[in-house]
């Protein structure tokens, strides 16, 4: 059965890999699963056909036969449970890898998303300048905790897993602000993720849609 995901027809980042289809492409590449991409305009995102796939009118979505999913965490967990390569076999290690997936989207991504909101969506509000340092401090608090846990390990819990794939994808979104580079061990962690052949293929595929550079950086 063919896997089809959705991505932006016009990505706001112009193909720098920050749109969330990249993390699903990356997982599919790690697992060696071929896929097709349907590009969706901003207008079509909010129309009934797409809302039937994702009630929040967002990309990416995932379709395979009768199954339709949204939410990158769920899509990647589904794929990682179905195909070997992104979750350890041992029960506890597997549960810990899944925990890191949730930590990425539930504990680390929210303050990072707030930065985009305060800078872009709410940038013209009179209180935006006052709010910005508070949001940045919340990101730093999380990155301090994360870098303390990572220490000098290559990955969060033993071998590379879906937890790392998700965490690297989330951390990548702090790079444009410069915050990532305040944490050399996390910057190196992200770079290790980006150096993986599967990430590079995923990045090149999404960059090709927007006529962007085929390699990160
Ligand atoms: N929690 C969702 C977030 C999805 C999301 O924010 N998608 C963005 C692109 S990266 C989007 O479609 N934005 C357009 C919109 O919200 O109108 C996930 O992880 O899949």
132 CB neighbour count, 10 Å cutoff? 16
Residue with CA nearest ligand 1 atom 5: 58
Q: What is the dihedral of CA 74, 70, 197, 37, to 10 degrees?
A: 160
As beta bridge partners, residue 39 has 7
pTM: 0.97
Ligand 1 midpoint to CA 177 (Å): 19
Ligand 1 midpoint to CA 20 (Å): 7
Report pLDDT digits (tens) over 153-182.
999 999 999 999 999 999 999 999 999 999
Spatial distance between the Cα atoms of 171 and 166, rounded to a whole number of angstroms: 9
Residue with CA nearest ligand 1 atom 16: 58
Q: What is the pLDDT of residue 215?
A: 85
Determine whether the shortest distance from the Cβ of 22 to ligand 1 is under 6 A.
no
For a mutational test of ligand 1's pocket, the pick from 42, 58, 106, i.e. the residue with the most ligand atoms closer than 8 A to its C-beta, is 58
Determine whether the shortest distance from the Cβ of 9 to ligand 1 is under 6 A.
no
Contacts of 137 (CB under 8 A, 6+ apart): none
Report pLDDT digits (tens) over 91-135.
999 999 999 999 999 999 999 999 999 998 999 999 999 999 999
**What is the separation of C-alpha 208 from the centre of its chain, rounded to a whole number of angstroms?**
18
Burial of 207 (0-12, 13-18, 19+ CB in 10 A): buried
């Amino acid at each position: 059965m063919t896997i089809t995901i959705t991505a932006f027809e016009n990505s706001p980042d112009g193909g720098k890999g920050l749109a969330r289809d990249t993390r699903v492409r990356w997982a599919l590449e790690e697992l060696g699963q071929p896929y097709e991409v349907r590009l969706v305009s901003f207008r079509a995102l909010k129309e009934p056909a797409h809302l039937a796939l994702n009630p929040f009118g967002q990309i990416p979505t995932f379709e395979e036969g009768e199954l339709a999913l949204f939410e990158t965490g769920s899509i990647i967990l589904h794929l990682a449970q179905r195909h070997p390569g992104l979750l350890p076999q041992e029960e506890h290690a597997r549960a810990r890898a899944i925990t890191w997936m949730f930590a990425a989207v539930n504990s680390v991504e929210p303050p990072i998303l707030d930065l985009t909101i305060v800078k872009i969506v709410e940038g013209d509000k009179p209180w935006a300048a006052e709010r910005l340092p508070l949001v940045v401090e919340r990101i730093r608090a999380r990155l301090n905790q994360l870098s303390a846990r990572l220490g000098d390990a290559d990955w969060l819990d033993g071998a590379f897993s879906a937890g790392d794939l998700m965490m690297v994808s989330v951390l990548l979104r702090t790079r444009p602000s410069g915050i990532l580079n305040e944490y050399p061990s996390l910057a190196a962690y992200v770079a290790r993720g980006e150096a993986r052949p599967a990430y590079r293929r995923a990045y090149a595929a999404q960059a090709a849609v927007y006529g962007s550079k085929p390699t990160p950086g």
